[in-house]
Chain A
Amino acid sequence: MTSSTPIGIKSFGAYIPHRRLSRAAIAAAHAWALPSLKSLGKGEKAFCSWDEDAITMAVEASRDCLRGGSADAIAGLSFASTTAPYADLQNATIVGSALRLPDVSTRTDLAGSLRAGLAAVAQALQSSAPGEQLIVAADRRRAKPGSVQEMLYGSAAAALRVGQGDDVIARFLGRESVSVPFIDHFRQNGEKFDYYWEERWVRDEGISKLVPRAVGALLKQLGLSMDRVAHFGLAGGPAGGDKLVAKALSLPPDRLLPDLQGQVGDCGAAQPLLQIAAALERARAGDIFIVASFAQGCEVLAFEMLQPAPATGRRGLAGSIARRVEETAYLKLLSFDGEIELDWGMRAETDNKSALTQLYRSADQILGFVGGKCGSCNSIQFPRMPSCVNCGALDSQIPYALADEPARVVTYTADWLQYSPAPPMYMGLVQFDVGARLLMEMVDVGAAGIDVGTPLAMSFRIKERDRLRHYDRYFWKAVPTS
Chain B
Amino acid sequence: MATGIKDKVAIIGMGCSRFGERWDCGAEQLVTEAFSEALADAGIERAQIGAAWYGSAMERSVGNSAIPLSTALRLEGIPVTRVENMCATGTEALRGATYAVASGAVDIALAIGAEKLKDSGFGGLPVMGKGTLNDLWMLYGSAPAGFAQLAAGYRSKYRISREDLKQAIGRVSWKSHQNGAKNPKAHLRKAVEMETILNAPMIAEPLGVFDCCGVSDGAACAIVTTPEIARSLGHRDLVTIKALALSASAGREWGTDQWDGSYVQNTRNAAKAAYKEAGITDPRKELSALEVHDCFSITELVTMEDLGVSQDGEAWRDVLDGVFDADGKIPCQIDGGLKCFGHPIGASGLRMVYEHYLQLQGRAGARQLKNPQLGLSHNLGGVPYNGVCGISIVGLEGR
Which residues of A does B touch, CB under 8 Å?
345-347, 350-352, 354-355, 357-359, 362, 365-366, 379, 381-383, 385, 389-390, 392, 409-419, 424-425, 427-429, 431, 435-441, 451-453, 463, 473, 475
Whether A429 lies near B122 (C-beta < 8 A) is no
Cα of A341 to Cα of B126 in the assembled complex, Å: 22
Given contacts A346-B122, A389-B252, contact A418 B141 (CB under 8 A): yes
Cα of A185 to Cα of B251 in the assembled complex, Å: 54
* Distance in Å: Cβ of A2 to nearest Cβ of chain B: 48
**Chain A residues near B205 (CB, 8 Å)?**
413-414, 416, 424
What is the number of residues of chain B that contact chain A, defined by CB distance less than 8 Å? 46
Q: Among the listed B136, B153, B201, B250, which residue makes an inter-chain contact with A475, where contact means beta carbons less than 8 Å apart? A: B136
Cα of A424 to Cα of B204 in the assembled complex, Å: 8
18 residue pairs of the A-B complex, CB under 8 angstroms, read A347-B124, A358-B136, A359-B136, A389-B255, A390-B255, A411-B152, A411-B385, A413-B204, A418-B142, A424-B205, A425-B145, A427-B141, A428-B152, A437-B255, A439-B254, A440-B139, A451-B156, A453-B156
Residue of B whose beta carbon sits closest to that of A348:
B127
Q: Does B121 reach chain A (CB closer than 8 Å)?
A: yes
Q: Among the listed A385, A424, A427, A475, which residue makes an inter-chain contact with B137, where contact means beta carbons less than 8 Å apart? A: A475
**Chain B residues near A417 (CB, 8 Å)?**
124, 142-145, 203-204
Counting chain B CB atoms within 10 Å of each CB, the highest count among A357, A358, A413, A425 belongs to A413
Cα of A296 to Cα of B284 in the assembled complex, Å: 81
Whether A383 lies near B137 (C-beta < 8 A) is yes
* Distance in Å: Cβ of A334 to nearest Cβ of chain B: 25
Q: Among the listed B122, B206, B254, which residue makes an inter-chain contact with A347, where contact means beta carbons less than 8 Å apart? A: B122
Counting chain B CB atoms within 10 Å of each CB, the highest count among A383, A385, A390, A411 belongs to A411
Counting chain B CB atoms within 10 Å of each CB, the highest count among A345, A365, A439, A440 belongs to A439
Whether B136 lies near A362 (C-beta < 8 A) is yes
Whether A438 lies near B255 (C-beta < 8 A) is yes
**Chain A residues near B141 (CB, 8 Å)?**
413, 415, 418, 425, 427, 439
Whether A413 lies near B137 (C-beta < 8 A) is no
**With A413-B206, A429-B254 already in contact, 14 other A-B pairs whose C-beta atoms are closer than 8 Å:** A354-B135, A355-B136, A389-B251, A411-B152, A413-B205, A416-B202, A417-B142, A418-B142, A424-B205, A425-B145, A437-B254, A439-B254, A451-B156, A452-B261
Q: Does B3 reach chain A (CB closer than 8 Å)?
A: no
**Chain B residues near A436 (CB, 8 Å)?**
255
Q: Does B1 reach chain A (CB closer than 8 Å)?
A: no
Q: Among the listed B124, B142, B153, which residue makes an inter-chain contact with A452, where contact means beta carbons less than 8 Å apart? A: B153
* Distance in Å: Cβ of A362 to nearest Cβ of chain B: 6
Q: Does B371 reach chain A (CB closer than 8 Å)?
A: no
**Chain B residues near A438 (CB, 8 Å)?**
254-255
Whether A411 lies near B121 (C-beta < 8 A) is no
**Chain B residues near A365 (CB, 8 Å)?**
137
Residue of A whose beta carbon sits closest to that of B206:
A413
Counting chain B CB atoms within 10 Å of each CB, the highest count among A345, A366, A418, A431 belongs to A418
Q: Does B17 reach chain A (CB closer than 8 Å)?
A: no
Cα of A366 to Cα of B105 in the assembled complex, Å: 48
Whether B255 lies near A381 (C-beta < 8 A) is yes
**Chain B residues near A473 (CB, 8 Å)?**
135-136
* Distance in Å: Cβ of A258 to nearest Cβ of chain B: 38
Residue of A whose beta carbon sits closest to that of B256:
A390
**Total A-B residue contacts, Cβ distance less than 8 Å:** 142
Residue of A whose beta carbon sits closest to that of B134:
A383
Cα of A418 to Cα of B139 in the assembled complex, Å: 11
Proximity bits, B164-189, A CB within 8 Å = 1, else 0 = 00000000000000000000000000
Which residues of B does A touch, CB under 8 Å?
120-122, 124, 127, 129, 132-133, 135-145, 148-153, 155-156, 201-207, 250-252, 254-258, 260-261, 385-386
Whether B256 lies near A381 (C-beta < 8 A) is yes
* Distance in Å: Cβ of A349 to nearest Cβ of chain B: 9
Whether A366 lies near B142 (C-beta < 8 A) is no
Residue of B whose beta carbon sits closest to that of A390:
B256
Cα of A180 to Cα of B349 in the assembled complex, Å: 75
Whether B127 lies near A350 (C-beta < 8 A) is yes
**Chain B residues near A428 (CB, 8 Å)?**
149, 152
Given contacts A355-B132, A415-B204, A418-B142, contact A429 B149 (CB under 8 A): yes
Given contacts A410-B261, A411-B153, A417-B124, contact A463 B137 (CB under 8 A): yes
Given contacts A437-B254, A473-B135, A475-B137, contact A415 B152 (CB under 8 A): no
Whether A379 lies near B156 (C-beta < 8 A) is no
* Distance in Å: Cβ of B301 to nearest Cβ of chain A: 15
**Chain B residues near A383 (CB, 8 Å)?**
133, 137
Cα of A220 to Cα of B8 in the assembled complex, Å: 100
Residue of B whose beta carbon sits closest to that of A427:
B141
Q: Among the listed A389, A429, A431, which residue makes an inter-chain contact with B250, where contact means beta carbons less than 8 Å apart? A: A389
**Chain B residues near A439 (CB, 8 Å)?**
138-139, 141, 254, 385-386
**Chain B residues near A424 (CB, 8 Å)?**
202, 204-205
Whether B203 lies near A416 (C-beta < 8 A) is yes
Whether A389 lies near B256 (C-beta < 8 A) is yes
Cα of A417 to Cα of B155 in the assembled complex, Å: 22
Whether B252 lies near A390 (C-beta < 8 A) is yes
**Chain A residues near B386 (CB, 8 Å)?**
439
A-B pairs, 4 with minimum CB distance: A411-B149, A415-B145, A413-B148, A355-B132
Cα of A328 to Cα of B152 in the assembled complex, Å: 29
Whether B152 lies near A452 (C-beta < 8 A) is yes
Whether B149 lies near A412 (C-beta < 8 A) is yes
Q: Among the listed B127, B129, B152, which residue makes an inter-chain contact with A413, where contact means beta carbons less than 8 Å apart? A: B152
**Chain B residues near A352 (CB, 8 Å)?**
135
Q: Among the listed B122, B148, B256, which residue makes an inter-chain contact with A345, where contact means beta carbons less than 8 Å apart? A: B122
Cα of A385 to Cα of B251 in the assembled complex, Å: 11
Cα of A390 to Cα of B255 in the assembled complex, Å: 8
**Chain A residues near B148 (CB, 8 Å)?**
413, 415
**Chain B residues near A346 (CB, 8 Å)?**
120-122
